[in-house]
Structure 1
């Protein structure tokens, strides 16, 4: 199920340019005609086309020139590879997606989403060097690295193949507020409702090794607690009850429950307990009480507890270690504040 969300937002002239570009890119044509529009419009269509169609991973940018035909321009794409190499990459990536999708056949929609999320968090490393191919599906699927754009596109192409409604959302940069890059994440449709899912942010969390779901099926209110608004119109996400921690009964409201749950985790020999705090604002007193409960529960098992928190989503990770086990020997604060990696879509879309 291909979700052409951005195509549906365009007028007829823009849609004609959209499909002319798509046909030319899929054919790997050296140049082709598209309807004549303003430079800004063509650049925007080019950007949004590749959000709808992550399989077009091999086009960097484009230039164009005016022709004798007054209602069109001649577009010249700039491809990342020569044609033979593009065909090889397309075949390899299609085979990779097919193998992954085969593993998720027969799952429920939520289980498919979890499968995709797990693939990203278990197999993709955030590329802090921001290599060119990390912005496209070739990074996560072929190289095991990616930035938010490439990760969001990979989530979409897997959702498309698994029949899940999926949209890539993009927020703009704001240098005045220290936000240097755009950021991309996904919206997923479940049972006719839309939810935010940011696999990039989850992949950057887990200081002590726990798998995180802080940004899994959030409402607008929840995601925009620490995300900038979308550049483009996206569906409303009004349901806050499908978040991972809520659905899995990992949302706590009482500090004493933290100790009880951590004891149960320790008895099972599990090293991590991650939960969402829903008992009001996480002020210094509440954090202190949570840490005290956790420390007492850990001490009963001869353990020490290490605590990290994601303040934007009020998620806390507690990790149990043997007494005196300092890991790498680094000095560990009683409470570590984790910051998810920010956005990374650069200005490659600008005309050369």
Structure 2
């Protein structure tokens, strides 16, 4: 399966030393050949596992293996790798052909778009067509889940974003963070870093997908800076480029990031009058309980003027509120949202 080669495709390869790069190359060649086994320079088991994982982050088109066994002899400088393939050879080749065709078909309508438009095209496609797979089937960790079956977990979704970026000539990598069982985060998490206009941004389509989905799209995690993303993301496993620019955060660019209470009142009045949902980001200082109470009061006051009730859900770490205006209020008027609930206890 061929995709356009971008600098981001070899990102993790470039973080390795010469011996590790030799292992990476041998693994890549062996896996692309669908070899039942192949030799690599001998390293510790953990190192081999890390390189295997990095390779598949750089090259999401290698979607047909997720783990391996290995053996070595004390007097040998090599290890023999035995990959575990998800399918037999014929099935892999059929899936490769299908995935190549699928990626090309999805990329075609966006080829002439700007970088920013391509990024949103990919984000929106995933959010509208892929649902989070809580059953966590093996293929959900690979592009074949989201792009072939319409289901995926964060790893498969991030790899799908990357392969579509690769096909559209955009720089993109997959970022990986640690689990944190003490906070109820029982799995590592993956998302993307993209380069738009020469600057790097975090893009977590999985988190946006679990907040919205279908026609109700969310952009809470679209072009975040390091400061923004690590409010609710754990420490990184491997280093990624610094993302310092917060000025191209989606809601800020769309002018629905408010710093004043009167702006919230004005936009609430407009939304309730038109009978539309209101989604906005608050950046008028820290979103404390006192500030939130004032925001909710303003929103409810504007709803009451049109004989409506405000139903509000809040993504607290990212200070994003989603408001609908209801004739009859069903359920709680205020709820806390938690992105990516499928990867928590």
The alignment's TM-score, normalised by the length of structure 1, stands at 0.91
| Structure-to-structure mapping, 1:1-352, within 5 angstroms | 1-2=5-6, 3=8, 4-66=10-72, 70-206=76-212, 210-270=216-276, 272-321=277-326, 323-324=327-328, 326=330, 331-332=331-332, 334-341=333-340, 344=343
Between 69-78 and 182-191, report the one with greater CA deviation: 69-78
CA contact (8 A) 1:172 1:182 kept: yes
Structure ranking higher on relative contact order (CA contacts 8 Å, 6+ apart) = 1
Residue 38 of structure 1: CA displacement? Answer: 1.6
Q: Work out the CA distance in 2 between the residues paired with 1:23 and 1:268.
A: 58
Residue 319 of structure 1: CA displacement? Answer: 1.0
* Aligned CA distance change for structure 1 residues 312 and 70 (closer, same or farther; 3 Å): same
Classify the secondary structure of the residue corresponding to 2:291. Answer: helix
CA contact (8 A) 2:177 2:237 kept: yes
* Aligned CA distance change for structure 1 residues 104 and 134 (closer, same or farther; 3 Å): same
Residue 164 of structure 1: CA displacement? Answer: 0.9
* Aligned CA distance change for structure 1 residues 97 and 21 (closer, same or farther; 3 Å): same
CA contact (8 A) 2:185 2:343 kept: no
Q: Work out the CA distance in 1 between the residues paired with 2:40 and 2:213.
A: 49
Residue 128 of structure 1: CA displacement? Answer: 1.0
CA contact (8 A) 2:311 2:329 kept: no
Q: Work out the CA distance in 2 between the residues paired with 1:320 and 1:216.
A: 25
Residue 208 of structure 1: CA displacement? Answer: 12
Between 142-151 and 30-39, report the one with greater CA deviation: 30-39
CA contact (8 A) 2:131 2:213 kept: no
Classify the secondary structure of the residue corresponding to 2:81. Answer: strand
The alignment's TM-score, normalised by the length of structure 2, stands at 0.93
Residue 304 of structure 1: CA displacement? Answer: 2.0
Q: Work out the CA distance in 2 between the residues paired with 1:182 and 1:343.
A: 12
Gaps of 5+ in 2: none
Gaps of 5+ in 1: 346-352
Classify the secondary structure of the residue corresponding to 1:20. Answer: helix
The alignment of Structure 1 onto Structure 2 pairs a total of residues equal to 338
Q: Which residue of 2 aligns with 1:349?
A: none
